[in-house]
Chain A
Amino acid sequence: MPGRYRIGLDIGGTFTDLVLADDRTGEIRLHKVLTTPADPADGALRGLRALCDTAGIRLADVSALIHGTTLVTNAIIERRGARTALLTTRGFRDILEMGKEQRYDIYDLFLQYPAPLVPRRWRLELDERVARDGAVVTPLDPAEVRAAAGRLAAQGVEAVAIVLLHAYINAAHERAARDVVREVLPAASISISSEVDPEIREYERTCTTVCNAYVQPLVDRYVERMEQALAAQGFRGRFTLMQSSGGTIAPDAARRFPIRLLESGPAGGALVTAFFGDQLGRRDLVAFDMGGTTAKLCRIRDGQPEIAPSIEAARVHRFKRGSGLPVTVPVVDMMEIGAGGGSIARVDALGLLKVGPHSAGADPGPACYGRGGAEPTVTDACVALGYFDPGYFLGGAMPLDARAAETALERLGAQLRIGAVAAAWGIHELVAENMAAAARVYLIERGQDPRRFAMVAFGGAGPAHAARVARILGLRDVIVPPASGVASALGFLVSPTSVDLVHSLPGLLDRLDWAAVGALYRRMEADGRAMLLDAGVPADAVRCRRRAEMRLAGQFHDIEVAVPDGELTAAAAPGLTAAFEAEYRRLYRTFLPDRPIQVLNWRVLVTGPRPEIALPRADIDPSASPGAALRGRRRAYFPETEGFADVPVYDRYRLRPGCAIPGPAVIEEREATTVVGPGDTVSVDAVSNLLLRVGGCRVGGGRP
Chain B
Amino acid sequence: MTSRFDPVALEIMWSRLVNIAEECWITIWRTAFSTIIGEAQDFGCELFDADAESIAHSPRSMPVFNLTLPLAVRGLLEAFPRHTLAPGDVLVTNDPWICAGHLYDLAVVTPVFRRGTLVGLVGSIGHCSDIGGTRDSLSAREIYDEGLQIPPLKLYRGGAPNEDLMAMIRANVRRPEMVLGDIQAQVSSNHVGAARLVAFMDEYGLDSLAALAREVQSRAERAMRDAIRTVPEGTYRSEVGVDGLADPLRLPCAVTVHGDEITVDWTGAPPQLPRGGVNCTYHYTAAHTTYVLKSILTPEIRSNAGCYRPFHVIAPEGSVLNCRHPASVNERTHTGWYLGPAVFMALAPVLPDRVQAFTGLPIGMGAYGFDAAGRVFNDHLFQGGGQGASAHGDGKSALLYPTSAANVSVEMFESRTPLLVECKELIPDSGGPGRFRGGLGQRVRMRLVEPVAQPVLVDFRPHGRRVVTPGLHGGLPGRLADAYLLDGDRGAASPVRNGGDGVAELRTPAQRATIEIAGGSGYGAPGDRPLEAVQSDLDEGYVTPEGARIYGVTVDGGRARRDDTARGA
Contacts and interface: CB of A to CB of B under 8 A. Distances in A.
B424 A131 contact: no
B33 A131 contact: no
B420 A137 contact: yes
B11 A554 contact: no
Interface in B7-22: 7-12, 14-16, 19, 22
Interface stretch (A1-9, A73-81, A199-207, A601-609): A199-207
Interface in A343-389: 347-354
A121 B539 contact: yes
Interface string A554-583: 111100000000000000000000000000
Contact of B295 (A107, A425, A426, A557): A107
Contacts of B539: 119, 121
Contacts of A200: 409, 411-412, 415
A519 interface: no
B26 A444 contact: yes
Contacts of A111: 396
Interface stretch (B72-80, B186-194, B262-270, B273-281): B186-194
B560 to A, nearest CB: 15
A433 B19 CA distance: 12
Which residue of A101, A110, A556, A557 has the most chain B CB atoms within 10 A of its CB atom? A101
Interface string B168-180: 0000000001100
B119 to A, nearest CB: 18
B184 interface: yes
B299 A97 contact: no
Looking at B31, B61, B222, the one whose CB has the most chain A CB atoms below 10 A away is B31
B422 A97 contact: no
A99 B38 CA distance: 17
B138 interface: no
Contacts of A444: 23, 26
B551 interface: no
A426 B7 contact: yes
Contacts of A108: 295, 299
Contacts of A590: 184, 187-188, 191
B442 interface: yes
Contacts of B11: 352-354, 430, 433
A349 B406 contact: no
A433 B192 contact: no
A654 B29 CA distance: 52
Contact of B406 (A100, A107, A119): A100
Interface string B399-432: 1110011110111101100001111111000000
Contact of A555 (B7, B33, B59, B401): B33
A103 interface: yes
B400 A557 contact: no
B489 interface: no
Interface stretch (A27-35, A59-67, A272-280, A434-442): A434-442
B404 A102 contact: yes
A699 to B, nearest CB: 6
A554 B181 contact: yes
B300 interface: yes
A94 B29 contact: no
A143 interface: no
Contacts of B401: 103
A109 B400 contact: no
B457 to A, nearest CB: 20
Interface stretch (A85-93, A522-530, A684-692): A85-93
A105 interface: yes
A98 B423 CA distance: 13
Given A426-B7, A555-B33, A132 B411 contact: yes
A92 B424 contact: yes
Nearest to B355: A109
B497 interface: no
B540 interface: yes
A109 B356 contact: yes
A440 B19 contact: yes
Nearest to B344: A109
A437 B541 contact: no
Given A120-B540, A201-B412, A202-B409, A103 B8 contact: no
A595 interface: yes
Contacts of A348: 300
A416 interface: yes
B31 A95 contact: no
A693 interface: no
A260 interface: no
Contacts of A121: 539-541
A202 B184 contact: no
A704 B424 CA distance: 60
Contacts of B542: 120
Contacts of B415: 132, 200
Contacts of A445: 26
Contacts of B421: 91
Interface in A588-605: 588-590, 592, 595
A557 B12 contact: no
B392 A110 contact: yes
Contacts of B392: 110
A111 B401 CA distance: 12
Given A109-B295, A418-B6, A592 B181 contact: yes
Contacts of B390: 109-110
A700 B405 contact: no
Given A110-B390, A113-B396, A132-B414, A201 B301 contact: no
A165 interface: yes
A466 interface: no
Contact of B8 (A95, A165, A426): A426
B31 A555 contact: yes
Nearest to B300: A349
Contacts of B493: none
Given A102-B404, A203-B409, A350 B222 contact: yes
Nearest to A584: B31
Interface in B216-251: 219-220, 222-223, 226
A101 B33 CA distance: 21
B426 A107 contact: no
Contacts of B409: 200-203
Contacts of B181: 552, 554-555, 592, 595
A506 B458 CA distance: 29
B54 interface: no
A221 B397 CA distance: 36
A103 B539 CA distance: 27
B53 interface: no
B383 A101 contact: yes
A93 B424 CA distance: 8
B258 interface: no
A231 B354 CA distance: 60
B466 interface: no
A97 B390 CA distance: 20
A703 interface: yes
B294 interface: yes
A106 interface: yes
A700 B393 contact: no
Nearest to B405: A102
Q: 3 closest Cβ contacts across the A-B interface?
A: A91-B423, A426-B8, A107-B299
26 contacts: A90-B423, A91-B425, A94-B424, A94-B426, A98-B424, A101-B399, A101-B400, A101-B406, A107-B300, A109-B390, A110-B390, A200-B409, A201-B411, A201-B412, A352-B219, A434-B15, A437-B16, A441-B23, A588-B27, A588-B31, A590-B187, A590-B188, A700-B9, A700-B12, A700-B203, A700-B204
Given A166-B411, A587-B27, 12 more contacts: A94-B424, A95-B410, A106-B59, A109-B354, A110-B390, A119-B539, A132-B449, A348-B300, A437-B15, A441-B22, A554-B181, A556-B39
Interface of A: 90-95, 97-103, 105-111, 113, 119-121, 129, 131-132, 137, 165-166, 200-203, 347-354, 416, 418, 425-426, 429-430, 433-434, 437, 440-441, 444-445, 552, 554-557, 587-590, 592, 595, 699-700, 703
